[in-house]
A and B are shown apart, each in its own frame.
Chain A
């Protein structure tokens, strides 16, 4: 139903425009002055200053593979992360462990593990689904490259970002 919006009653000086315009100019001048004198401090000079220190513990950055405290890779190439990945950014080429290996009961290991960072959406599904707590979202966010090839993280790169994870498994951290 249509209804009438009552217009505000303006005083004489408000109707004259100019005093109101001068008031507006004063506001913008105050903002200008506060920026010049450094009173307003809202800006971070990004490449020189970074916000890494104030990243929250649950921040989702680039996914990476981790090793355990003895330097063994945790990934067993079960490919669950590859299947759950919504943008299909993960490609795994599983290999079979030799029968005489000490860890032969694990059966598989990743020969190749590629994450295409041009496709990754940082959703963290891979981390959620991983039964071995081998893949985690780290805090790296500035992933750059000059070509599409450079934007694909291979196994070496992923372990380099991930590093090792000791003690309590991060995945079951209530904040994470």
Chain B
């Protein structure tokens, strides 16, 4: 506890730098996820999507601005500017205090949960995680379930029936899926014996990713093969619950446009609406980061050394370790981006579930499946000790 009595400016500097880095990267990712969502959905539906707002490359000497590749990349910036300068309208019939606090709660919870995600190995000896706590996933579940307050308060304080229904749906949906979300990852902790996210990633770098055990280059043993079954079930339940947790289609009942106008953010405009939007996509990013960290090896990529220059192919050791530290960060965000594309792909494929189907799936199917899975993993670990 020495650090409480002496001020280590280096440490504070590192934390600040890492926090700012994560914020900048995640917020940029959010805006470009929205762009990717629009582009990918368009391509899936045989359209082109936003391809006009480019960067003014004529100012840099290019012949014309419009180009099929760069076109549209300026769209997120234009959208952000639009949302910032729009009129921020507060309806007269709302409960002002909760109406104002709800968007901040919604996005704040999500951004805080990013703090425990290890987004890289080490860079110049500094571990690439903002808060290296021993209860990583529990912290995330605790904080991200606070996010539902934002939605419920928004729905209630708006004093409108559509918003209210959206808020109610959201809270009941989150309660029913949080259970299977939490239960589904217990087999992982039984196998790994730790709740520390950086340790989980280090374990996967050494012993192969949990979902794809072949990444360490060794043929899996009987124990690993058997343990792979509960891990696959956890991955399935966890990913699907994450869809429900982040209000994505096929579980986007809180903001079902056809039934509820806009759901809980019907009465919001301008930047307050944008905060909900931002929070929703940031939650997607946080969820994807958690899936990547738990199941897909985090920052680890086969044959690539970590930030200390250990592991990987010998030929790669010629380059300095800090370079591989950067590569690890890029690998992590690359995996997250691929998972986000998967989220988008699913959204534009599946229709929305009916409300009773959603509840049935959560309470009758996934909850039991996750529960049985815990015992399955425990039995394998008990009968085949390492």
A27 at interface, CB cutoff 8 A: yes
B346 x A31 contact (CB < 8 A): no
A24, A31, A48: the one within 8 Å of B45 (CB): A31
A24 proximity list for chain B (CB < 8 A): 349-350
B43 x A35 contact (CB < 8 A): yes
A29 proximity list for chain B (CB < 8 A): 345
CA distance A40 to B42 in the complex (A): 13
B349 x A25 contact (CB < 8 A): yes
Interface string of A35-62 (1 = CB under 8 A from B): 1100010110000100000000000000
B66 proximity list for chain A (CB < 8 A): 48
B40 proximity list for chain A (CB < 8 A): 32
B87 at interface, CB cutoff 8 A: no
B346 x A25 contact (CB < 8 A): yes
Residues facing B in A1-33 (CB within 8 A) are: 21, 24-25, 27-29, 31-32
CA distance A35 to B350 in the complex (A): 20
CA distance A2 to B44 in the complex (A): 40
B229 at interface, CB cutoff 8 A: no
B356 at interface, CB cutoff 8 A: no
B348 proximity list for chain A (CB < 8 A): 28
B48 x A27 contact (CB < 8 A): no
CA distance A34 to B43 in the complex (A): 9
A15 CB → nearest B CB, Å? 12
B46 x A21 contact (CB < 8 A): no
Q: Which residue of A lies closest to B66 (CB)?
A: A48
A36 x B43 contact (CB < 8 A): yes
B346 x A43 contact (CB < 8 A): no
B47 at interface, CB cutoff 8 A: yes
CA distance A24 to B350 in the complex (A): 7
A40 proximity list for chain B (CB < 8 A): 46
A25 x B345 contact (CB < 8 A): yes
Q: Which residue of B lies closest to A31 (CB)?
A: B44
B48 x A43 contact (CB < 8 A): yes
B345 proximity list for chain A (CB < 8 A): 25, 28-29, 32
Counting contact residues on chain B (CB < 8 A from A), the size range is 10 to 19
B42 CB → nearest A CB, Å? 8
B350 proximity list for chain A (CB < 8 A): 21, 24
Residues facing A in B6-57 (CB within 8 A) are: 40, 43-48
Q: Which residue of B lies closest to A36 (CB)?
A: B43
B46 x A28 contact (CB < 8 A): no
B47 x A32 contact (CB < 8 A): no
For chain A, what secondary structure do more than half of its interface residues adopt (helix, strand, loop), or is it mixed? helix
A51 CB → nearest B CB, Å? 17
B41 CB → nearest A CB, Å? 9
Residues facing A in B106-152 (CB within 8 A) are: none
Interface string of B230-271 (1 = CB under 8 A from A): 000000000000000000000000000000000000000000
CA distance A28 to B345 in the complex (A): 8
CA distance A31 to B43 in the complex (A): 7
A77 CB → nearest B CB, Å? 45
A27 x B349 contact (CB < 8 A): yes
Interface centre among A28, A34, A42, A43 (most CB of B within 10 A): A28
B46 x A42 contact (CB < 8 A): yes
B43 proximity list for chain A (CB < 8 A): 31-32, 35-36
A28 proximity list for chain B (CB < 8 A): 44, 345, 348-349
B47 proximity list for chain A (CB < 8 A): 43
CA distance A43 to B346 in the complex (A): 24
B349 x A32 contact (CB < 8 A): no
Q: Which residue of A lies closest to B236 (CB)?
A: A18
B297 CB → nearest A CB, Å? 23
B349 x A21 contact (CB < 8 A): yes
B245 CB → nearest A CB, Å? 18
CA distance A43 to B44 in the complex (A): 13
A50 CB → nearest B CB, Å? 16
B346 proximity list for chain A (CB < 8 A): 25
B109 CB → nearest A CB, Å? 30
Q: Which residue of A lies closest to B49 (CB)?
A: A35
A25 proximity list for chain B (CB < 8 A): 345-346, 349
A155 CB → nearest B CB, Å? 37
B48 proximity list for chain A (CB < 8 A): 35, 43
Assuming A24-B349, A32-B44, what are 9 further A-B pairs, CB within 8 angstroms? Answer: A24-B350, A25-B349, A27-B349, A28-B345, A31-B46, A32-B43, A40-B46, A42-B46, A43-B46
Binding site for A on B (CB under 8 A): 40, 43-48, 66, 345-346, 348-350
Binding site for B on A (CB under 8 A): 21, 24-25, 27-29, 31-32, 34-36, 40, 42-43, 48
Listed from nearest, the 6 A-B pairs whose CB atoms lie closest are: A35-B43, A28-B349, A24-B349, A28-B44, A32-B43, A32-B44
Between A and B, 5 residue pairs with Cβ closer than 8 Å are A21-B349, A25-B346, A32-B43, A42-B46, A43-B46
